[in-house]
Chain A
Amino acid sequence: MKAGVVVFPGSNCDRDMKIGLENSGFDVTMLWHKDTKLPKLDLVVLPGGFSYGDYLRCGSIAAHSTIMTEVKKHAEEGRLVLGVCNGFQILTEAKLLPGALLSNKTLSFICKPQKLKVASNDNPFTDLYMKGEEVMFPVAHHDGNYFADEDTLKEIEDNNQVAFRYVENPNGAVNDIAGITNKKGNVLGMMPHPERAISKLLGGEDGKKFFDNLLN
């Protein structure tokens, strides 16, 4: 399977993401934010970091980068898009996912291993997990507090779009939401970093299973 990792000015988790994907067997290309055409890809990943210095709002400027027109087309064709951390923020700003990411309730940057439970396995990202299965991925964010208004939240829950929930919510995210998909299920945004949990040497291997699952 072919994956592309987009690099925005200020992205800093792009190379770890490449390693995480390759470690599970993906063929990875790095994509520059100004690219006007995407090669044929199965998966596009928006990695973590501080694109455009988090100016204005996290991900707000990256959401309008040249390459995002192509990423939106890729998503409309039903292909896979994964946004991790800053990538999740960019997906909400680009309206590829509902809701928004606010500042953590505690106003502090949270950096630690985080227990999550799989809330839905109705999408290609989590379909090889069991519902309720617990995984541990590190979080490292200041603005991971997921928010959606009442109506949007009801829709997200009714459509089974919540992929991961926090066990012991660290940032105040509504309904403990750590990761969601779009209605179709081909776009996933999540705050925790699976690419930082691909080996015992890094403190955990749960992330390897996440990428292995994606290959199927």
Chain B
Amino acid sequence: MKAKVYVTLKNGVLDPQGQAIGKSIKNLNIKGIREVRQGKYFELDLDSAENVEEQVKKACENILANTVIENYRFELVA
């Protein structure tokens, strides 16, 4: 089983990297993209234990995301 974890910046947190990426996209003459915010994606390979979802949540809360500035969500896939 795998967990796909998405970590994104909370609204209101400045994202200068996202802004720089947005500028680069514009410079490539790609239209229609207003704003870019950069996040992180993790793939966790899991044991098939019972409380594995709880363990993934713990990993997210304690290290994968800094909950002061980031939100996280995850999905479990077979």
The verdict on A147 contacting B66 (CB below 8 Å), with A103-B16, A105-B16, A172-B14 known, is no
The verdict on A92 contacting B68 (CB below 8 Å), with A56-B63, A60-B63, A64-B63 known, is yes
Nearest residue (CB) in A for B40 is A56
- Interface residue B69 (Cβ < 8 Å from any Cβ of A): yes
Interface residue tally for chain B (C-beta within 8 Å): 13
B37 to chain A, nearest CB (A): 13
- Interface residue A168 (Cβ < 8 Å from any Cβ of B): no
The number of A-B residue pairs with CB atoms under 8 Å apart is: 37
* A105:B14 contact, CB within 8 angstroms: yes
Nearest residue (CB) in B for A152 is B68
Q: For residue B66, which residues in chain A have a CB less than 8 angstroms away from its CB?
A: 57, 60, 93, 100
Q: For residue A56, which residues in chain B have a CB less than 8 angstroms away from its CB?
A: 63-64
* A100:B68 contact, CB within 8 angstroms: yes
Q: For residue B62, which residues in chain A have a CB less than 8 angstroms away from its CB?
A: 64
The complex places the Cα of A104 from the Cα of B16 at a distance, in Å, of 8
The complex places the Cα of A103 from the Cα of B19 at a distance, in Å, of 12
A126 to chain B, nearest CB (A): 24
Nearest residue (CB) in B for A107 is B16
- Interface residue B32 (Cβ < 8 Å from any Cβ of A): no
Interface residue tally for chain A (C-beta within 8 Å): 21
- Looking at B14, B64, B68, which has the most chain A CB atoms within 10 Å of its CB? B68
- Contacting B at CB under 8 A, from A95-110, are 98-100, 102-107
* B14:A149 contact, CB within 8 angstroms: no
The complex places the Cα of A103 from the Cα of B13 at a distance, in Å, of 11
Nearest residue (CB) in B for A99 is B68
The complex places the Cα of A60 from the Cα of B66 at a distance, in Å, of 8
Q: For residue A93, which residues in chain B have a CB less than 8 angstroms away from its CB?
A: 66
- Interface residue A11 (Cβ < 8 Å from any Cβ of B): no
- Contacting A at CB under 8 A, from B9-42, are 10, 12-14, 16-17, 20
The 6 closest A-B CB pairs, nearest first, are A100-B68, A100-B69, A107-B16, A105-B16, A103-B16, A57-B66
B residues with CB within 8 A of A:
10, 12-14, 16-17, 20, 62-64, 66, 68-69
A residues with CB within 8 A of B:
56-57, 60-61, 64, 92-93, 98-100, 102-107, 145, 147-149, 172
**A to B CB contacts below 8 Å, 22 in the list:** A56-B63, A56-B64, A60-B63, A61-B63, A64-B62, A92-B68, A98-B68, A100-B66, A100-B68, A100-B69, A102-B13, A102-B14, A102-B69, A103-B17, A105-B16, A107-B16, A107-B20, A145-B14, A147-B14, A147-B68, A149-B68, A172-B14
